[in-house]
Amino acid sequence: MRLAEFNAYLDRQGASPTADAVSYRQGTIWLTPDELGALIGTLLAVLDPTSETSLSRGPRAVPAQPHPVPHRPANPLTAIPAG
């Protein structure tokens, strides 16, 4: 869910993140360009079958915005100079 959509959801009267199973998860993974392409392909394959509509289903936003982040050491403590 893009941030504006998420804020619009929260601003709705009766919004209930717990009841609606709303969550936000973010992590950092280290990938080569080929691995990123494979990951995106896997996500698309997983999400595609659930795109069919029915009376028992409601739409859910499942965003993914993979983007580069600044390079950081695997262990942040190793970046702290000895005192």
**Residues in contact with 81: Cβ distance below 8 Å, sequence separation at least 6, in sequence order:** none
- The two tokens of residue 50 are 């659930």
Tell me the C-alpha distance between 17 and 15, whole Å: 6
pLDDT digits (tens, 9 = 90+) for 31-61: 899 999 999 899 888 887 767 778 887 777 7
Q: What is the pTM of this model?
A: 0.53
Check pLDDT > 70 for residue 23. yes
List helix spans (H) across the chain. Answer: 3-11, 33-47
Q: What is the pLDDT of residue 1?
A: 47
Q: What angle do CA 58, 59, 60 make, to 5 degrees?
A: 115
Check pLDDT > 80 for residue 76. no
